Structure 1
Amino acid sequence: MTDDLHARIRAAIDRDASVGLLQRAIRTPSVTGIEAAFGALVADELRRLGCEGVTIEDCLPGRPVVWGVRKGRGTGPRLMVLGHLDTVHVRGWEEHWAGDVRHDPFSAAIVEDQIWGRGSGDLKAGICTGLSALATLDRAGCALDGDIVFVFIADEESGEPGTGVSAGIKAVVPKIQRGEIPNADFAIYVEPTRLAVFPAQIGFFIAEITVTGRSAYFGMPEKGVDALKAGHAILSALWRHSAELETRGTHELIGCGFLLVTGVEAGGYIAVPERCTISLIRKLRPGEDLGQARDELDAVIRGAVTDPEVTVEIAYPAGRDHPVGGMPFETDATMAPVALLQDSVRAAMPGRGEIEGAPFWSEGSFTANQLGIPTVYCAPGDISNCHTFQERVPVAEYLAGVEAFALFMARFCGTAG
């Protein structure tokens, strides 16, 4: 597209309005389980932007999904912009920043040209980037040929009791399959990427292993069955299994598969330990089968236990788009829309827009695998400071994201003005 289009878009960016929207978003708390107020804010913004069919519908009581469609002229491809409404908790934030302007996790304070606060990066900057980009196109007089579908969902984050099972996207996917929400030709899930483009993500599952023996007084250990000793054998087998997984190949963007033991607990009395619990997370690269990986793990664990009096139970508490976990996905990085998004980001902020792999799991696998929409992650913000007391987004990066998204929307959907 022409340099004139880019110049018009850049000139139409309203810095104060864009930054103000992100600050209002951060100042509307939406810790997982209490997303309703932020969902209402987003719905109001969609209506203000002239989106049709703006809907707020609970996926769980008091927990919304929000969608709306900005109609184009009907002659171009359709883009989907989606992300999650919820953030992780703020426990300890005020104590960490006591006496500092950043002590309120929802203040959206600007310090050294960065916007601070819970959810700033993960992922309210992404949501506001998409909304502000459309507002920028309106100010620039760019009438789109294709539609833009906005979908924002509760319950992506985990960490709060009884939450984090992707209830929002699980409610939305059937609606898209039935045509109640329009499907799309390309999707951007606005997880923070520092404006890199992530066309692939890891898969994962969490396993909680409970090993049970029989307790006995320490002076007569022969009367007991030592669950910790059995747990030690399981740990050794798990680490051998992880080393073997790392030899099975490396994905260019994601790396190799492995497992990480994240917790071990046993004992507590002056006695033979009756119980040992082991927690782990398994990383999968695109192309690995999650069910097969689960079955392999099960065999490794049970094969390590030789004492018939020891029992082993294995639970998989983090089912997402698979009963035991989250699926990996990969979009062809050479697709024209991916390259167009890269070019748009580079035009807005030279040095950004590179192809990378997502070192996290999010819900792009639902749109990519279940709906068949080529999906990437792209948004301002750095995942490395999210979920921490350091969560923040540089103002310059955020505004570059607004510019890049507006340019991509115009180029991808087409514009007559």
Structure 2
Amino acid sequence: MSADSLAQRLRAALNKDDAVALLRAAIGRQSITGNEANFVGLLQKEMQARKVDNIKVADFLPGRPNIWGERKGAGGGRRLQFIGHTDTVHVDGWREHWAGTEREDPFGAPIIDGQIWGRGSGDLKAGICTSLAALSLLDRAGIRLKGDLAFAFVGDEESGQPGTGVSAGVKDYTARIEAGEIAKPDFVVYTEPTQLAVYSAQIGFFIADITITGKSAYFGVPELGKDALKASHAVMAALWKHSDEVSARAEHPLIGRGFLLITGLSGGGFIAVPEECKLSLIRKLLPGESLDDAAAEMEAVIRGAIADPEIKVDIAYPAGRDHAVGGSAAEIDPNLPEVAMLCGAVREAMAGKGEIQGAPFWSESPFFVNRLGVPAVYCAPGDIRNCHTFEEHVDIEEYLAGIVAFATFMARYCGVEE
């Protein structure tokens, strides 16, 4: 089948009403981190209706399920995995922000000026729905694949809710692949929002919470105290200098330079020498940088900035992901044939899309790229810049183009049984 005839056949077969209804229903299932089961219930019904086989639902933590399944091909093709996270960030302040407007309900999924609004619309229910609607599109077009399609929708990706956001869902899923319970894919598309660009690289990160403890003393006799706030000032100055040094080392062509950003400061005393001060920071890493080395280097900078041995420092890393202190950076060769194939499918579906870019965020592709050795990219409709905000929405035209693009890529990558 020629490229033109495949694209035409898919565009002609697309059921736009079904695709839009699917995304609106997905947004309507509140699934703030911890409540993934509410969305998984809908996904199970939709996957069954769209003839996904071997559907499994299993808790990665009590009451918090992953769901996965597959569509076996006729044989002789490769295995293509689509994966996305089911949880969203909170909606605190949403109703107040949009009070009295058609956007007031964060789960109402109103259609406004060609856009679907709501929490999770971009991050990343549009991506999940794009992959499922693409499978239905292949069926409507009468296209049967040689290779297998795998679908997995996992929880606990988002940070922000107490005791959550450590990628517990994808850890469970990839462990099942390692154990041989689930077949290992040949290529992975993680459906984070990219505006239909193809992200072949992503940043790494760690978050550090630093507690500096001195000794309180009455303001009239400050010489009896150990000023934690003053020590913190020295630490911050050293960290800003360290950030400049990190940034000067290298620049990645897709994700720029590494750096360290101090994100919070609290401390002080009541008419007294401050006894305790707390800092928070985030460090951006480039592919090839070691999380262990970066954390050790930062710790040496912090401790080296404090001259008084009686002032104590405690450093904690609250956001371990695929590594104890944070999330690893990842990249694959952007010149891989399957990357070019996906870019081409996107360009055919929507002019101006399908560019290779880098992810300015961290998500869960390193579990595949670094842990399993499987090439993975991010690609899906939606704009990361409006996600996690009161402005979260997805352009319907881009969403529908994404469905055609994914279906095209499924056919070309897995092969078509003539």
TM-score range (shorter-chain normalised) is: over 0.9
Alignment map for 1:122-271 (pairs within 5 Å): 122-271=123-272
The one-character-per-residue Cα deviations of 1:91-123 (angstroms, maximum 9, x if unpaired) are 000000001100000000011110000000000
- Aligned partner of 1:306 in structure 2 is 307
Partner of 1:21: 22
Q: Which amino acid aligns with 2:349?
A: A
Q: What residue number does 1:295 align with?
A: 296
> What's the counterpart of residue 388 of structure 2?
387
Shift of 1:2: 3.0
Deviation at 1:181, TM superposition (A): 1.2
Query: After superposition, what is the alpha-carbon deviation per residue over 1:295-342, rounded to whole angstroms, capped at 9, x for unaligned?
Result: 101100001111111000000000000000000000110000000000
Distance in 2 between the 1:270 and 1:199 partners? Answer: 54
Count residues with an aligned counterpart. 417
Q: TM-score by structure 2 length? A: 0.99
Q: Give SS of 1:405's match.
A: helix
Alignment match, 1:103: 104
Separation in 2, partners of 1:188, 1:42: 18
Q: Deviations over 1:7-54 (max 9, x none)?
A: 111111000000000000000000000010211211222222222210
- 1:13-92 alignment to 2 at 5 Å? 13-92=14-93
Q: Secondary structure at the match of 1:183?
A: coil
The one-letter code sitting in structure 1 at the alignment partner of 2:234 is A
Distance 2:120 2:205 in 1: 23
Q: Is the 8 A contact 2:342 2:354 kept in 1?
A: yes
Distance 1:351 1:95 in 2: 37
Identity percentage of aligned residues: 60
CA contact (8 A) 2:269 2:275 kept: no
Give 3-state SS (helix, strand or coil) of 2:8's partner. helix
* Structure 2: segments with no counterpart, 5+ residues: none
- Separation in 2, partners of 1:348, 1:41: 28
- Partner secondary structure for residue 385 of structure 2: helix
- Secondary structure in 2 aligned to 1:384? coil
Q: Give how far 1:219 is off.
A: 1.1
Q: Distance in 1 between matches of 2:181 and 2:104?
A: 43
Shift of 1:4: 1.2
User: In 1, distance between residues paired with 2:171 and 2:324?
Assistant: 12
Give the secondary-structure state (helix, strand or coil) at the position aligned to 2:74: coil
Structure 1: unaligned runs, 5 residues or longer: none
Amino acid at match of 2:109: A
Supply the AA of the counterpart residue of 2:17.
D
What is the RMSD computed on CA atoms of the aligned residues?
0.7
Q: Report the 3-state secondary structure (helix = DSSP H, G, I; strand = E; otherwise coil) of the residue aligned with 1:30.
A: coil
Residue type of the alignment partner of 2:70: V
Q: How does 1:114-129 map to 2 (within 5 A)?
A: 114-129=115-130
How far does residue 215 in structure 1 lie from its aligned partner after superposition? Answer: 0.6
1:283-362 → structure 2 map (5 Å cutoff):
283-362=284-363
2:402 equivalent in structure 1:
401
Amino acid across the alignment from 1:324: V
CA distance in structure 2 between the aligned counterparts of 1:11 and 1:189, rounded to whole angstroms: 26
Runs of 4+ residues over 6 Å off in structure 1: none
Residue 268 of structure 1 deviates from its aligned partner by 4.1
Distance in 2 (CA, whole Å) between partners of 1:2 and 1:406 is: 12
Q: 2:417 corresponds to which residue? A: 416
- 1:266 and 1:2 map into 2 onto residues whose CA distance is 63
Contact 1:40 1:56 in 2 (8 A): no
Cα deviations by residue, 1:64-88 (Å, 9 ceiling, x for unpaired): 1110011101211110000100000
